[in-house]
Amino acid sequence: MGFEVIWTKRAEVNLENVKSFLKENWSLKVRIEFTSKVKNTIGLLKLNNNLGILVNKYTGTRKILITKHNYLYYRVKNNKLFIVNFLDTRKK
């Protein structure tokens, strides 16, 4: 079953911060691979939203590892996949 994907402002900002970091410090190839991993993971979540680890049973929030440095936090409600945060584990 496919889900509509909705990004929160927080998730969008954090994803853009990671992309900016990659642009300043890494090659175009790394940036393209990263973007591809994000898109592929969201595609998988649209097909099976239980892939991530449940981190908050009350809100139904789950997390899934995108790269060894990045987690995507999401929840599903009413056939919508809400991307609630994008966390770079290298930051404090």
pLDDT of residue 92: 53
Backbone dihedral angles phi then psi of residue 59, each to the nearest 5 degrees: -95, -15
pLDDT for 16-54, tens place per residue? 999 999 999 999 999 999 999 999 999 999 999 999 999
pLDDT of residue 13: 96
Instruction: Give yes or no for residue 88 having a pLDDT over 90.
Output: no
pLDDT of residue 89: 85
Cβ-based neighbours of 63, under 8 Å, separated by 6 or more: 52, 53, 55, 71, 72, 73, 74, 87
Q: Counting beta carbons within 10 angstroms of the beta carbon of residue 82, is it exposed (0 to 12), middle (13 to 18) or buried (19 or more)?
A: buried
What is the arithmetic mean of pLDDT over 75-83? 94
Could you give all domains of the chain from N- to C-terminal order, each with its CATH number?
A: 4-85 (3.30.2310.20)
Could you give the percent of the chain with pLDDT greater than 90?
A: 89
Task: Please report how many Cα atoms fall inside a 13 Å half-sphere around the Cα of residue 41, on the Cβ side.
Answer: 20
pLDDT of residue 80: 94
pLDDT of residue 11: 97
